[in-house]
């Protein structure tokens, strides 16, 4: 693979950078720079700006309203987006349910849902995991029983990310108990405003309300909201999960975090000199930077192997998921280590843009400390979601190594 960008690609980078400089709202940029909490309105406002530019879905093919950009262009855009401090596009809509709709949805579903994702009208969330059905997803029990031209859905989903904001949820439900567990699962699209849906918050270690449990009590869902064939949802679920795992590499986010790590290490003093001058700590930074470079190359190779939107990504995405989650955790750990005792105070309110530190804490406080401490807690989950790293290793051993 040629690691040098062509003149056309560099020109494209300049175009993206100029757009971000001109169009990214300053308040959103400042929140990102300081590691503050972004509101739902921030994500929607940015999506509408992108859509007005014609960049509403940088990873979609043109026939569905996307940019039609190649993998290198998408990679460049993601690098520049993260560096500028622009919010990510909601992965559940753009990188999960949308590829499933493009590959397996009918024309009516594509024509209704995809434009509303582009416009920011619909916020999507995911209904996969259940109590007792996380990494062993095929054991899910949420049921969908036919009643005329509807399904009646009952059950519970958990670890649902940002469902408190969602307009729609894509769900795996059990429509048959015959045969192997994987053979009785269907893929439903459910309006979150439907009577019988209850969203209950789960507060995480960092104090944030990021995830939820969602209850379905006799929820009526039209048969027309089923994607593909009944009892074939496991096929669509695997297709979606591979797209999700590819996105878990998080190369752009890791690059920005690595840059922040180097900044902290340059500012923090150790034995009378900047920490970055400590050879052992510098070696740890160098090691994770080399691993990130290798991940970036592998990520581009895997994604560039796709020919069309119906082609499923292969087991190679498990490698991306493992290394991406590990590198995110390693950088977070190094940031905390570089902060030293300044990393100890964690203030949940410190994620609010208007929060001011108590003067008594000023001596042992850095403006970026609360966000980084919170991110450290939050990133402990990256090696679990989208299929735990242990499960990914089983996939690699079975489907790549043939063990």
Cα separation, 140 vs 154, whole angstroms: 12
Q: Where are the domains of the chain?
A: 7-89, 124-232, 248-399
Average pLDDT score over the chain: 88
- Three-state SS for 327-352 is HHHHHHHHHHHHHHHHHCCCCHHHHC
Q: Which tokens sit at 201?
A: 């918050």
Domain spanning 248-399 has what CATH number?
Answer: 1.20.140.10
The model carries a pTM of 0.86
3-class secondary structure, 386: coil
- Tokens 């849906």 belong to which residue? 197
Strand partners, 213: 200
Rg, C-alpha atoms of the chain: 22
How far CA 354 is from CA of 64, 136, 345, 348, in Å, comes to: 40, 43, 18, 13
Average pLDDT over residues 41-58: 96
In this prediction, residue 310 carries a pLDDT of 52
- Binned at pLDDT 50, 70 and 90, residue 363 comes out as low
Other beta carbons less than 10 A from residue 160's beta carbon: 25
Say which residue, 320 or 233, is predicted with more confidence: 233
Asked if the model's pLDDT at residue 96 lies above 60, the reply is yes
Say which residue, 328 or 317, is predicted with more confidence: 328
Cα separation, 374 vs 277, whole angstroms: 27
In this prediction, residue 217 carries a pLDDT of 98
Average pLDDT over residues 312-341: 84
Asked if the model's pLDDT at residue 148 lies above 80, the reply is yes
Q: Which of 20, 13, 22, 21 is nearest to 76 (CA)?
A: 13
Asked if the model's pLDDT at residue 14 lies above 90, the reply is yes
* pLDDT one-digit tens code per residue, 240-280: 877 666 666 778 889 989 998 999 899 888 888 999 999 99
Assign domain 124-232 to its CATH architecture: Beta Barrel (2.40)
- Binned at pLDDT 50, 70 and 90, residue 298 comes out as confident
Percent of the chain past pLDDT 90, that is, above it, reads 57
Q: Which tokens sit at 195?
A: 């009577």
Specify the range with the lowest mean pLDDT, choosing from 154-158, 210-214, 373-377: 373-377
In this prediction, residue 320 carries a pLDDT of 82
Other beta carbons less than 10 A from residue 21's beta carbon: 11
Asked if residue 127 lies in contact with residue 190, where contact means CB atoms within 8 angstroms, the answer is yes
Cα separation, 178 vs 111, whole angstroms: 34
In this prediction, residue 313 carries a pLDDT of 64
Say which residue, 269 or 82, is predicted with more confidence: 82
In this prediction, residue 233 carries a pLDDT of 94
In this prediction, residue 362 carries a pLDDT of 59
Residues of 45-56 as b/e, b for ≥16 C-beta within 10 angstroms?
bbbebbbeeebb
Q: Which tokens sit at 100?
A: 């499933």
DSSP H helices, 95-143, are 98-104, 107-119
In this prediction, residue 289 carries a pLDDT of 95
Average pLDDT over residues 25-33: 91
């Amino acid at each position: 693979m040629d690691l040098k960008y062509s003149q056309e690609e560099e020109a494209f980078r300049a175009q993206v950078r100029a757009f971000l400089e001109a169009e990214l709202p300053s308040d959103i940029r400042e929140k990102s720079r300081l590691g503050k909490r972004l509101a739902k309105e921030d994500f929607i406002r940015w999506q509408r700006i992108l859509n007005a530019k014609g960049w509403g879905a940088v990873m979609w093919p043109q026939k569905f309203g996307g940019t039609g950009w190649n993998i290198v262009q998408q990679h460049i855009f993601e690098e520049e987006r993260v560096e500028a401090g622009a919010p990510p596009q909601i992965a559940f809509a753009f990188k999960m349910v949308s590829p499933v709709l493009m590959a397996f949805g009918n024309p009516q579903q594509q024509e209704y849902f995809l434009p509303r994702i582009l416009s920011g009208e619909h916020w999507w969330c995911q209904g996969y995991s259940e109590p007792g059905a996380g990494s062993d997803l095929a054991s899910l029990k949420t049921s969908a029983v036919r009643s005329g031209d509807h399904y009646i859905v009952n059950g519970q989903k958990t670890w649902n990310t940002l469902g408190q904001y969602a307009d729609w949820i894509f769900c795996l439900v059990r429509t048959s108990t015959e045969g192997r567990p994987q053979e009785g699962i269907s893929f439903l699209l459910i309006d979150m405003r439907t009577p019988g849906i209850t969203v209950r918050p789960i507060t995480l270690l960092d104090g944030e309300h990021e995830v939820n449990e969602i209850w379905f009590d006799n929820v009526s869902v039209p048969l027309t909201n089923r994607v593909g064939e009944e009892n074939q949802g496991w096929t669509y679920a695997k297709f979606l999960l591979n797209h999700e795992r590819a996105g878990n590499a998080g190369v752009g986010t890791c690059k920005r975090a690595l840059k922040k790590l180097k900044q902290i290490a340059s500012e923090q003093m150790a034995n009378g000199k900047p920490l970055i001058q400590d050879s052992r700590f510098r070696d740890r930074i160098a090691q994770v930077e080399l691993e990130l470079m290798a991940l970036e190359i592998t990520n581009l190779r895997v994604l560039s192997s796709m020919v069309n939107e119906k082609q499923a990504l292969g087991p190679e995405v498990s490698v991306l998921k493992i290394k991406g989650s590990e590198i995110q955790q390693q950088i977070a750990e190094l940031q905390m280590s570089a902060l030293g005792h300044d990393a100890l105070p964690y203030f949940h309110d410190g994620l609010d843009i208007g929060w001011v530190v108590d003067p008594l804490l000023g001596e042992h406080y850095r403006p970026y400390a609360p966000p980084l401490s919170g991110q450290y807690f939050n990133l402990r989950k990256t090696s679990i979601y989208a299929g735990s790293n242990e499960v990914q290793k089983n996939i690699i051993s079975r489907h790549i190594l043939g063990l």
